[in-house]
Amino acid sequence: MDIDLKGKKALVGGSSGGIGRAIAFQLAESGASVTLMSRSKEKLKGIVSDLPVTQGQSHQYLVVDFNDFEIYTKTISDYFENNSVDILVNNTQGPAAGNTLEKNVPDYQEAFDLLFKTVVFTTELALKQMQQKQWGRIINVASVSVKEPLSYLALSNTIRAAVVTWAKSLATDVGASRITVNSVLTGYFDTDRIAQLNAKKAEQLGISTAEVRSEMESRVPLKRIGKPEEYGYLVAFLASDKAAYITGTSIPIDGGLLKSL
């Protein structure tokens, strides 16, 4: 099955590394013109130059800081003054790890701005042109922790759950415009984020990061950590016409990690 995204324009958040970068590459490989977003201009410049390019494709990047909502809204609003997108991938870096006893109200507000308000604001801007075109794809990068909370990710558990339920409601409201809205529930993937979390956990437990990773792999039925490119394959499918009847869903990509239905 070929995924053909020729003529489509995609905006991918958090795409200077990890899962976001893999998504951008797969969308470009499938023919879409991709705009990358992250804080690191140098990383973005390098990735844009590496993205696959065929006839009709044009890639670019946008330097944004998801942590500063006020500045972010101005930057992204300016972008949409001169650009439209067919495919929006909502993805940001995760908030700081920690359990509920380690977090306070300002921490939750900061995470809400980062994970929820940026997503809703960007989607509102993208939807205006999607509704005019009567076609669009909104894909949210979420986490398996919205179904089975991880004690050391209290902020992410809480706010990403809000994103997923918002997305379910949005899918109902925009379905008549042939716009689909789906969330991907992320399991363990070989990224810098996982490495950072593993390092913190290793320090807390007084063991090596190799031991932490081995224990993590043992919990996955497939007995391995996911490859970012595997994530990109799923998102490219959801972005295509092949997935036109899939909306309002939360799809785990976790090697079977989730135990719940």
Domains of the chain: 9-188+227-253 (3.40.50.720), 191-225 (no CATH)
Instruction: Give the strand order in the sheet containing 136-143.
Output: 60-63, 33-38, 9-12, 87-90, 136-143, 179-186, 250-253
Can you give the pLDDT at residue 160? 97
CB-count exposure of residue 246 (10 Å: 0-12, 13-18, 19+):
middle
The pairing of beta strand 33-38 with beta strand 179-186: unpaired
Q: Hey, what are 42's tokens?
A: 């140098």
Can you give the pLDDT at residue 231? 98
Least confident window among 166-180, 191-205, 242-256: 191-205
Reported as a single tens digit per residue, the pLDDT across 76-122 is 999 999 999 999 999 998 899 899 999 999 999 999 999 999 999 99
Least confident window among 98-107, 195-204, 234-243: 195-204
Reported as a single tens digit per residue, the pLDDT across 124-179 is 999 999 999 999 999 999 999 999 998 889 999 999 999 999 999 999 999 999 99
pLDDT over 90 percentage in the chain: 89
Residues marked as catalytic? 152
Can you give the pLDDT at residue 156? 96
Confidence of residue 1 (pLDDT cuts 50, 70, 90): confident
